[in-house]
Amino acid sequence: MNKPHIVILGAGYGGIMTAVKLQKQLRQNEAEITLVHKYDYHFQASCLHENAAGTLHQDRSKIKIKDIINRSKINFIIDDVMSIKRDAKKVRLKNRELHYDLLVIGLGFEPRAEGIPGLEEHAYSITDINSARFVREHIEYNFASYANADKKDDSKLNIVIGGGGILGVEFAGELVHQIPDICREFDIEKTQVRLYMLAEKNSLLPGFDKELEHYAATSLQSRGVEIIHSDQLKAYQDNKVIYETEETERKIPTHTFIWTGGVQANPVFEKAGLALKNKKIEVHSNMLSTIDDSIFVVGESAYVTNENGEEISPTAKKAIEEAAVTAKNIASRLRNKELTSCRPVKQGMFATLGRDDGVATVQNRRVFGWKAVVVKRIHDNHYLYQLGGWQLLLKKGHFHLL
């Protein structure tokens, strides 16, 4: 008799954790499992801002998938997911087609250009290892080209981070730490570099307590980040960021505009006819799609609300918790047992502001400064331990606490 085929799309936090849990929970004769991912490595997306700033080499964030999966239990395919044909229970990859009995979607996020002219075409975003590396090399290229030009173009030393939020704030914190090193490398006076952060009006870190938000803003400003709360970002055109504040249009000339403002779910499942909310797939509390009970969804791809009906912010922790419930429910489904619900515990929130500063809430307590960095490092290391035990933790762990 054919074994049911479980196909997992994407090996981000949600997808890889589903695979690792399933290989422990299912016996070899219970199912065939296939994991599909773009690259031969998983990466820790929550460290990408460090890779983009150059404070952490990208190889530290990459984890070879063959090192964490049991290949006698999981087939691993490196390919691009192109579309899902739900009526035929098939997934079309760039190079082949797969039939599934149960599907797990963990395709993560895409940057959202919000319809702002020039953003999609010219702004940079930090979504994976290659885009993070591209940002780092682009900044270095502009500094080098400034240093080597007879006629100096100051806009090459202007960096604008658009959007605020955790990603923008964390990236600004890392960059401000790294800029003196890049300046030294290219013989540039560091006071000539301008680092702007264009945030929404009255908000820098949405979802964080106001006192933590104020602390983060003061910390970044004291190290030279110019925070601008704009009424509206209008365009990024002709190497100028154009925004409006107090009913006046203003411009910042720059060759480096990094957009961290919005993310949306992967376009693959927009075309699959799944019920979407806020561009994510609506799921029941057991992580099954609301309209297709052969499809589980984890991480940023899943639209999940709390008991008040508010959307739960997508974080690595949320993706990991959902993956654990999904793996358990797949095993239950195969054994004709009842499915359980994912009840996310109240999540801690943290944002680093460079190597030795940060803000966090842990069990409703505010944490500031280096202690917040320690909290984040503990979370990152715990994740590595869950994924690959002591071996992976010792190989890739974040022990540079300060």
Ligand X SMILES: Cc1cc2nc3c(=O)[nH]c(=O)nc-3n(C[C@H](O)[C@H](O)[C@H](O)COP(=O)(O)OP(=O)(O)OC[C@H]3O[C@@H](n4cnc5c(N)ncnc54)[C@H](O)[C@@H]3O)c2cc1C
**Which of 385, 386, 115 lies closest to 395, judged by CA?**
385
User: Which residue minimizes CB distance to ligand X?
Assistant: 12
What is the distance between the alpha carbons of residues 46 and 196, in angstroms, rounded to a whole number?
Answer: 22
**166 counts as binding ligand X under rule CB under 6 A:** yes
Q: Which of residues 350-379 bind ligand X (CB under 6 A)?
A: 376
Q: Pick between residue 127 and residue 245 the one whose CB is nearest to ligand X.
A: 127
Among 61, 142, 315, 361, binds ligand X (CB under 6 A): 315
What is the distance between the alpha carbons of residues 85 and 1, in angstroms, rounded to a whole number?
Answer: 25
The side-by-side arrangement of strands in the sheet containing 90-93 is 81-85, 90-93, 97-99
**280 counts as binding ligand X under rule CB under 6 A:** no
Q: Pick between residue 142 and residue 315 the one whose CB is nearest to ligand X.
A: 315
Helix (H, G, I), strand (E, B) or coil at 247: coil
**262 counts as binding ligand X under rule CB under 6 A:** no
The answer to whether 170 is a known catalytic residue is yes
**339 counts as binding ligand X under rule CB under 6 A:** no
Closest distance of CB 109 from ligand X, Å: 5
Q: Pick between residue 26 and residue 65 the one whose CB is nearest to ligand X.
A: 65
Detail the DSSP E strand segments found in 21-162: 32-37, 41-43, 62-64, 74-78, 81-85, 90-93, 97-99, 102-105, 109-111, 158-162
What is the distance between the alpha carbons of residues 142 and 202, in angstroms, rounded to a whole number?
Answer: 32
Among 4, 30, 34, 38, binds ligand X (CB under 6 A): 38
Max Cα distance, the chain (Å)? 74
**91 counts as binding ligand X under rule CB under 6 A:** no
Angle between helices 165-186 and 129-148 (to 10 degrees): 40
Which region, judged by CB under 6 A, interacts with ligand X, from 102-110, 191-199, 238-246, 389-397? 102-110
List interacting residues with ligand X (CB under 6 A): 10, 12-15, 36-38, 45-46, 48-49, 80-81, 106-109, 126, 128, 166-167, 170, 266, 268, 299-301, 314-317, 319, 376
